[in-house]
């Protein structure tokens, strides 16, 4: 039996990767030019394309990942990642797009929708921003921490949607990335929003994975705090005693909180696989209007302190999407999902994060020299920003969230965002290539595209 020849390591030449950022302009794109053009796009709904003559319909046969520029950069495994790490002028000036699954679903025309192409198309047409794809369903998650560090060093990381369910490991069958693999990567991405990182934008399944990761990170935090015997700079044990008191409060709340949907309890406690994400009362497909988050139906089973903490965060901070709902016309976006993030879990995570943050702030110097130092990378809080009506009395209560991070020394706020809907899809729910690429004027007036660009525009400022 003849052994297979070893796989040759890819090179820039064999992959035909560009090393000059941008493809539409006469000079390389930079974070400054990209940010300026995002602002130009958001300034109104009628100004012309900044790239006259390049605003044209695409040859759909060429607009696919790995086929031709601008979609040539695909990370299929460790070799491509190693090559990318030698090109900081590329990965630091690109948007990193993560695919958990080969498509985000099947549309009403019976087409598989690969919405990652729409992300790349919109950002290229609007600001000549390059994208790099990580098809994890094909490559697997081969080094979660290194991948997260690489992605976070870019302009932004977008985690896409897909058919699997964040509460069902079996639904990931057939993918090279299991549910645990995906959650390990999302955990790392949530911990990487630091002073030198781009924002995370988590879409549909990505939104649900982020919600699940919040609970995983909180359970890990509580477990490690309660298992800690001593802290080096805590001579009298006062700091650890207080940390354990707070961890016990979070554990008790997490273990006893009930998730109610459609009038019945579907999950009890943060150990239940449906605590963070569960099936919608109805599948939600098509255009919906975003409305501000508010109480619908009975939610008095949720402890008052969770509501109160969320209200305090919402009053104190600005989550971009809430401001956009007030300043723009009504926002209509494309929904395409059968699962949803549970309101109870989102409110709980926000309360627990803020409680941990406020406890850690006065003792951060002592904690920084211990194995618990990773707690300083946790979010500050979560805000639910909007919701949509599925039909009648059924709601997707958590259609968008803002994940806030507070800098320990400067008190500056950084943000990442999650959304249940697909801002990158037009009303026909088709991917670019199967449909013509929208002209700049169409993108300029599209609510979903405007929301996606606004999240990136504001996230880049932090």
Is residue 176 a part of any domain in this protein? yes
pLDDT of residue 337: 64
pLDDT of residue 1: 47
- Contact between 226 and 248 (Cβ < 8 Å): yes
Is residue 7 a part of any domain in this protein? no
Mean pLDDT computed over 198-225: 97
pLDDT of residue 336: 60
Is the pLDDT score of 302 beyond 70? Answer: yes
Mean pLDDT computed over 119-139: 97
- Contact between 120 and 127 (Cβ < 8 Å): no
- Contact between 422 and 448 (Cβ < 8 Å): yes
Mean pLDDT computed over 436-448: 90
Q: Name the β-bridge partners of 202.
A: 159, 418
Closest CA to 399 of 457, 449, 335: 335
Q: How many residues does the chain have?
A: 462
Encode pLDDT of 50-81 as tens digits.
998 776 545 556 789 999 889 999 999 999 99
Encode pLDDT of 364-394 as tens digits.
999 999 999 999 999 999 999 988 877 767 7
Residue written as token pair 């030198």:
196
Is the pLDDT score of 339 beyond 50? Answer: yes
Is residue 18 a part of any domain in this protein? no
Is residue 22 a part of any domain in this protein? no
Positive or negative: CA dihedral 274, 280, 283, 286: negative
CA dist., res. 146 & res. 163, Å (int)? 26
As a whole-number percent, the residues of the chain with pLDDT over 90 amount to: 70
Is residue 8 a part of any domain in this protein? no
Average pLDDT, the chain: 90
CA dist., res. 328 & res. 187, Å (int)? 33
Q: Name the β-bridge partners of 388.
A: 396
Mean pLDDT computed over 108-122: 93
Instruction: For residue 283, name the pLDDT band (cuts at 50, 70, 90).
Output: low
Is residue 5 a part of any domain in this protein? no
**Structure-token pair, residue 313:** 């965060």
Q: Omega into 78 within 30° of 0, i.e. cis?
A: no
What is the number of structural domains in the chain?
Answer: 1
Is residue 13 a part of any domain in this protein? no
CA dist., res. 110 & res. 219, Å (int)? 40
pLDDT of residue 272: 97
Encode pLDDT of 403-440 as tens digits.
999 988 888 999 999 999 899 988 888 899 888 889 99
pLDDT of residue 125: 94
pLDDT of residue 194: 86
CA dist., res. 366 & res. 170, Å (int)? 42
pLDDT of residue 244: 98
Is the pLDDT score of 340 beyond 60? Answer: yes
Q: Residue 109, class by beta-carbon neighbours within 10 Å (0-12 exposed, 13-18 middle, 19+ buried)? A: exposed
- pTM for the model stands at 0.94
CA dist., res. 458 & res. 462, Å (int)? 7
pLDDT of residue 373: 96
Closest CA to 18 of 106, 89, 118, 122: 89
Residue written as token pair 């409110």:
347
CATH of the domain at 36: 3.40.50.880
- Contact between 321 and 401 (Cβ < 8 Å): no
Instruction: For residue 262, name the pLDDT band (cuts at 50, 70, 90).
Output: confident
With residue 327 as reference, give the H or E element that holds it.
helix 321-327
CA dist., res. 271 & res. 288, Å (int)? 32
CA dist., res. 6 & res. 410, Å (int)? 51
Give me the domain span that covers residue 445: 28-460
Instruction: For residue 108, name the pLDDT band (cuts at 50, 70, 90).
Output: confident
CA dist., res. 319 & res. 451, Å (int)? 12
- Secondary structure (3-state) at 414: strand
R_g of the chain computed on alpha carbons: 22
CA dist., res. 74 & res. 377, Å (int)? 29
């Amino acid at each position: 039996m003849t052994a297979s020849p070893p796989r040759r390591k890819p090179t820039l030449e064999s992959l035909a990767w560009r090393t000059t950022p941008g493809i539409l302009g006469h000079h390389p794109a930079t974070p400054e030019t990209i940010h300026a053009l995002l602002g130009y796009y958001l300034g109104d709904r009628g100004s012309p394309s900044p790239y006259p003559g390049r605003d044209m319909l695409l040859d759909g046969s060429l607009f696919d990942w790995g086929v031709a520029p601008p979609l040539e950069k695909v990370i299929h495994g460790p070799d491509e990642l190693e090559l990318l790490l030698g090109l900081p002028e590329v990965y630091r000036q690109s948007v990193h797009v993560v695919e958990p699954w080969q498509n985000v679903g099947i549309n009403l025309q019976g087409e598989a929708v690969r919405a990652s192409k729409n992300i790349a198309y919109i950002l290229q047409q609007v600001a000549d921003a390059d994208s790099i794809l990580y098809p994890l369903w094909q490559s697997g998650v081969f080094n979660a921490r290194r991948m997260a560090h690489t992605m976070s060093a870019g302009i932004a990381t977008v985690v896409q949607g897909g058919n699997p369910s964040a509460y069902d490991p079996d639904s990931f069958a057939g993918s090279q990335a299991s549910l645990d693999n995906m959650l390990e990567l999302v955990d790392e991405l949530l911990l990487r929003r630091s002073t030198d990182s781009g924002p995370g934008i988590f879409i549909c399944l990505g939104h649900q994975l982020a919600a699940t990761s919040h609970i995983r990170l909180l359970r890990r935090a509580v477990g490690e705090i309660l298992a800690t015997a001593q802290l080096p700079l805590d001579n009298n044990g006062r700091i650890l005693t207080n940390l354990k008191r707070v961890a016990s409060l979070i554990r008790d709340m997490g273990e006893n909180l009930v998730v109610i949907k459609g009038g019945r309890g579907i999950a009890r406690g943060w150990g239940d696989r449906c605590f963070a994400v569960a099936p919608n009362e109805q599948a939600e497909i098509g255009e919906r209007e975003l409305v501000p988050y508010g109480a619908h139906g009975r939610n008095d089973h949720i402890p008052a302190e969770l509501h109160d903490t969320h209200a305090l965060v919402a009053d104190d901070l600005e989550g971009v999407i809430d401001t956009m709902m007030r300043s723009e016309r009504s926002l209509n976006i494309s929904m395409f999902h059968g699962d949803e993030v549970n309101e109870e879990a989102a409110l709980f995570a926000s309360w627990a994060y803020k409680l941990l943050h406020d406890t850690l702030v006065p003792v951060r110097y002592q904690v920084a020299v211990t194995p618990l130092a990773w707690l300083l990378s946790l979010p500050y809080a979560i805000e639910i920003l909007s919701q949509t009506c599925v039909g009648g009395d059924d709601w997707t209560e958590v259609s968008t969230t803002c994940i806030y991070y507070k800098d320990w020394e400067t008190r500056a706020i950084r943000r990442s965002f999650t959304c249940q809907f697909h801002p990158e899809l037009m009303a026909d729910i088709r991917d670019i290539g199967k449909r013509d690429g929208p002209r700049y004027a169409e993108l300029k007036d599209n609510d979903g595209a405007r929301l996606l660009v606004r999240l990136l525009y504001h996230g880049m400022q932090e």
